[in-house]
C-alpha cells in the first residue's frame, strides 16, 4: 500500500489488551523455535486480501496468520483447532471466563 493516497493519519492510540500481548508473544516464540518464518506470516497476511485490513484489527490478522502457519506446519490439525475453539466458547461468555482453569 506504500504510495497510495490516503487520509489524515489517526493519532489515537490504545493500550494493548492481554489477548493482544499473548498473540505477539506467540508469534515471537513460534518464530524463535522455527515453527514458521516471518515470511510465512507475511504470506498468510497477504493471502487474506486487501479488505482484511479494513475488517479486522491488527492482532486479529496476526492470530489468523499464526494459526494458518501452525496448521501448515502440522503442529495441530484444522479439526483440533475447531474442536478446541468450540470447547473454549462453551467455557464462558467473556475472555476471562473462557480461560482454562
Residue in the block written with cell 466458547: 89
Q: How far is the CB of 94 from another protein (least distance, A)?
A: 5
Identity of the residue, 8 or 49, whose beta carbon is nearer to another protein in the bound complex: 8
Identity of the residue, 19 or 72, whose beta carbon is nearer to another protein in the bound complex: 19
Binding positions for another protein, rule: CB under 8 A: 1-26, 28-30, 33, 35, 38-39, 42, 45, 53-60, 63-64, 66-67, 70, 75-76, 80-81, 84-85, 87-89, 92-100
Spatial distance between the Cα atoms of 26 and 55, rounded to a whole number of angstroms: 22
Q: How far is the CB of 42 from another protein (least distance, A)?
A: 7
Q: Left, alpha or beta for 49 (phi > 0: left; psi -120 to 50: alpha)?
A: left
Q: Is 45 exposed, middle or buried (0-12, 13-18, 19+ CB in 10 A)?
A: middle
Amino acid at each position: 500500500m506504500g504510495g497510495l493516497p490516503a487520509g489524515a493519519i489517526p493519532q489515537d492510540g490504545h493500550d494493548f489488551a492481554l489477548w493482544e500481548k499473548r498473540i505477539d508473544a506467540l508469534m515471537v516464540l513460534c518464530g524463535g523455535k522455527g515453527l514458521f518464518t516471518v515470511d510465512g506470516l507475511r504470506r498468510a497476511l497477504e493471502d487474506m486480501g486487501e479488505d482484511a485490513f479494513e475488517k479486522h484489527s491488527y492482532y486479529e490478522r496476526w492470530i489468523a496468520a499464526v494459526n494458518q502457519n501452525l496448521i501448515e506446519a502440522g503442529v495441530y490439525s484444522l479439526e483440533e483447532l475447531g474442536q478446541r475453539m468450540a470447547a473454549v466458547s462453551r467455557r464462558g461468555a467473556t475472555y476471562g471466563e473462557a480461560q482454562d482453569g
